[in-house]
Structure 1
């Protein structure tokens, strides 16, 4: 699409400047780490199964052409919660607590006061049981004081992981930068192979040398392919950003033009 741009998402100023030293200057665009944006704590995404507050992975300011839902929704936040059995019913202690009309435990009081964010989407990966959430943000939510994750329930189900080991092993935390790609597929619908694409989709043989796996638009980077996923050209592909490890092998795909933006497997 003429005039469309694609961007790599890079953690840290030094990495960003080294990523494409002869290209356009990196643009500061958010952060990766445990602090969330300026959300009302009552709207912080929670596990639908046990109501634990999810882990904030990253918040990214979107270029204007990627604000597809509304020009007033200027950024996106990504959350995760590792639960090996997220597709199963809630354990008994959760069911019992939710049935209490006047909880005295502080955690369950927080749960009783919680409500969904109007621009949030939560999805369970039916293969791994893990939960992922995306929240589209207003300018005030992006630029306001960062918020700490709400209190955890000290009673954790045996299949939940409060501090996933992959975050410590693979996580990169810090300021995020957008680095414009020299990508022939900017503005095109992502596909696995050029022959499957329309509108002149180009095979980029050296994409893994040229581009980052976490990016906005352009050439699709997941080496395992699209699978059953489809997305518009205005998508975010996330790989290990802020310690996010999606399904162990596959990347998280977020279609920023869709009402339910998380597109998994």
Structure 2
């Protein structure tokens, strides 16, 4: 994705933001000029419909921006400096994982999302250090700042557990994976194990696989859909629907996902115990 294309995304998102404001302004001014309660109500209804349509269009533009807009190229070099074992194509996978995390934040309506990967967290942190570029990215991607929180796993904090469940849910949706019955891992949850990141978090898709990997320290994807199986997840806050996300339809699909079922790194590609 070229810098020119990124600029086009930004112009489109900004134009849609101003269009939503203009719709409300015109509706209120027109209704006030008519001095009629009926016209005012009608104008506000029309404005609400148009504003809703523009908001949906803007959200679609934000999703495309996150998936395709250019990220600072220095992130790749920074990652290789932190993790010398990474090859250039490996760092590109990590950046894709970062995009997946950003997408989870946007699609959860900017609710808190937890970071499940040490190596992706490192990329995120390096991006944040480039303050102006990161602030600008967040403005176009989300409409506001996404503040950093360290990588983590399910624990005793209801808020953090909910955040991780949201991330799991939307990362699965991006790759057409059923979040309740995953056959493989989404990219974001597979990278630490694939690249043998020191202190990283290793996941397997199904909790039943933990028994076969006893002593590995692996975490499991299906635990994100279980809010009462043990003491570490019973205090789950609003996570009955994966941290307040929309209920799973059972097919794990995503109506607007740009990824196909083979794009992730779960199962035999990147997930579980690595390669």
TM range (shorter): under 0.3
Structure of greater relative contact order (alpha carbons < 8 Å, 6+ residues apart): 1
TM-score (norm 1): 0.26
Bigger share in helix: 2
- Which structure would you say has the larger Rg? 2
Higher strand fraction (1 or 2): 1
